Amino acid sequence: MLIKQISIFIENKSGRLAQITKLFGERGVNILALSIADTTDFGILRLIVSNPEVAERTVKEFGLTAKTTDVIGISIPHIPGGLAQALSVLSDDGISIEYMYAFATCSEDNAMVILKVSDNGEAMKILTNSGIKILTDADIATLF
Amino acid sequence: MSAMNNFWDQKNECLSRDELHDLQSKRLAALVKRVYTNVPYYRNKMHDKGVLPEDIKSVEDIEKLPFTTKQDLRETYPFGLFASPMDEIMRVHASSGTTGKQTVVGYTADDISLWSELMARCFTMTGADKSAVVQVSYGYGLFTGGLGAHYGAERIGAVTVPTSSGNTQRQITIMQDFGTTVLCCTPSYALFLAETMEEAGVKPEDLKLKAGVFGAEPWTESMRSEIESRLKIKAFDIYGLSEIMGPGVSMDCICQNGLHVWEDHFIPEIIDPDTGASLPGNTNGELVFTTLTKQGFPLIRYRTRDVSSLNYEKCGCGRTMARMAKPCGRTDDMLIIRGVNVFPSQIESVLLEMGETSPHYMIIVDRVGTLDTIEIQVELTPDMLSDEVKKIEDLENRIRKNIESILGLAAKITLVESKTIQRSEGKAKRVIDKRSK
């Protein structure tokens, strides 16, 4: 299944990230994974959070522009070459990775990675067929 | 440099005010008759105002005539105000309009000759003659700056170097190698050239430069002294607009105390921009011009939107022609950036036409070093947001390209967070101009 990611547009102003994360803290939104894509003028903060609806509302109330996107979460063996194996099955089938980032937490045996790919449905099939574990909401719930 | 030598057409440049009055009256009456006969749009405007050609007998009657505005030019786009048959038109120029549509002006052979003649007066006023080497670094093309200066420089028999704008290194090399004595460009570009020369170790003493004919954008007296001291030249302020002719409608003389309007060919007026009432000499108001002798594209009481005043006293240089004060503002929201006319509405129409951005924008004009910069801040809407940076950058690029194709000017596009651009209850504030006035 697909995971909801929240993307927030933020200008490169100092203190912006601190303000947003503080708000999440106050509303009980837990951040499980995050990445920032930045340019000289702005950045896009991408988040996987415990409760996306609350997070999105919070961001909008604060006056920022946010958007929800479906992304794939996978769990891979926490060993050398673990990530390479998952990525190569996708590239073999012509699926390109738009961006990816790892979870802030991981278990001893497994690492967890968020992928944004060119074709979600196709990628899910390929990953499942290759025996790569796709994260579900339930998996994520266990991380709290 | 004796002032005696600085006349191209001393008889006409120094007509007595009485002679000038009679000449203007005769020419105005003939102009109105001609325009009434040849241009249906003007005929209708005059009917609306209840005025007929026979009502115009002298300069004082000019107040009976209707004004012409940029809006009239837009409504008659492209050739509706031409007063000569297209067979007789031999050149057109165009300048930007307020909503993307250009303003087109046409010239007959006589018009081009008149323009050359008036530009010749301007160049001669700087002390230049046929021994001069005139480098024309105004852009050549639809913009009147390049070709206008070019024909004037040729008219005085100078060596005319049509470098056009850009390629600063080559401009400097040509100045050195060809022995340029007169430079024509925007004042901000003159400063940029001075700066580049300093960096390259080229000293003013290495050049033969004596004078600069600078215009096409507003500039301050402090900019003038800076240019004069850095390039070691005399900097002259030239004024013009394509609707009236192009550069050379007026220029300041060696006294640098106002720009002489060539009144034997143009009647300048100052009006109250709100009521349209004529204002007396030495009073600030909107500058209005009537072209007396142009054939292809004559205009009656054209509202320039430039704020200035007129001084009718005889000048120390000997000329009797009225002097207009350096324009000190606009009665509309037009900006002049690197010599290019920019209306905020042009930028707004680009954004609205694209249909994917918010209509909330802010134009920030600044001067970095010597060059004007323009930044357009656009609020990012939820529809524009993508989780992928390249899609947002794509959008920025598309906005930039569309704006550049309309304005002819590269602008920096900055996407900003929604609701960060100030909302106002009345007229929206769209421009922050940080350049010193």
What whole-number distance in Å separates Cα of residue B404 and Cα of residue B390? 20
Q: Where are the domains of chain B?
A: 3-332, 336-433
Q: Taking 70 as the threshold, does the pLDDT of residue A144 lie above it?
A: no
Nearest-neighbour CA in chain B from A39: distance (Å): 8
| The pLDDT of residue B3 | 45
Of the listed ranges B241-245, B275-279, B429-433, the one predicted with least confidence: B429-433
Predicted local confidence at residue A89, as pLDDT: 93
pLDDT for B156 equals 98
pLDDT in tens, B59-73: 999 999 999 999 999
Q: Which residues of B touch A114 (CB under 8 A)?
A: none
Look at residue B309 in the predicted model and tell me its pLDDT: 97
Q: Closest chain B residue to A41 measured between Cα atoms? A: B414
- Residue range B152-175: mean pLDDT, rounded: 96
Query: Where is pLDDT greater, at B96 or B377?
Result: B377
Task: Pick A63's closest partner by Cβ from B382, B392, B418.
Answer: B418
Mean pLDDT of A84-108: 87
R_g of chain A, CA atoms, integer Å: 16
Mean of pLDDT values over B141-158: 96
> From B412, which residue of chain A is nearest by alpha-carbon distance?
A41
Identity of the residue in B388, B392, B393 whose CB atom sits nearest the CB atom of A98: B388
Q: Is B392 on the interface with A (CB under 8 A)?
A: yes
Q: Does B387 touch chain A (CB under 8 A)?
A: yes
> Across the interface, do B380 and A65 touch by the CB < 8 Å criterion?
yes
DSSP per-residue string spanning B106-143: EEEHHHHHHHHHHHHHHHHHTT--TT-EEEE-SPPSSS
CATH fold of B336-433, please?
A: GMP Synthetase; Chain A, domain 3 (3.30.300)
* Within this chain, domains A3-69 and A71-141 share the same CATH topology: yes
Query: Over pLDDT 90: what percentage of chain B?
Result: 73
Give the gap in angstroms from C-alpha A108 to the nearest C-alpha of chain B.
30
Q: For the ranges B343-347, B353-357, B407-411, B431-435, which has the lowest average pLDDT?
A: B353-357
- Both tokens assigned to B385: 């947001």
* Residue A99 β-bridge partners: A116
Residue B386 sits at the chain A interface (C-beta within 8 Å): yes
B380–A41 CB contact, under 8 Å: no
Q: Which among B104, B109, B98 has a CA at the least distance from the CA of B82?
A: B104
Fold entry, domain B3-332: Rossmann fold (3.40.50)
Write the burial class of residue B297 (CB in 10 Å: 0-12 exposed, 13-18 middle, 19+ buried): buried
| pLDDT of residue B422 exceeding 90 | no
Other beta carbons within 10 angstroms of residue A22's beta carbon come to 11
Domain ranges (residues) in chain A: 3-69, 71-141
pLDDT tens track for B103-116:
999 999 999 999 99
Fold type of domain A3-69:
VC0802-like (3.30.2130)
Q: What is the mean pLDDT of residues A68-88?
A: 91
Is pLDDT at B425 greater than 70 in this prediction? no
Give residue B2's pLDDT. Answer: 45
**CATH number listed for the domain at residues A71-141:** 3.30.2130.10
What share of chain B has pLDDT > 70, as a percent? Answer: 96
Give how far Cα B9 sits from Cα of A20, B123, B133, B152, B401, Å. Answer: 72, 12, 21, 13, 47
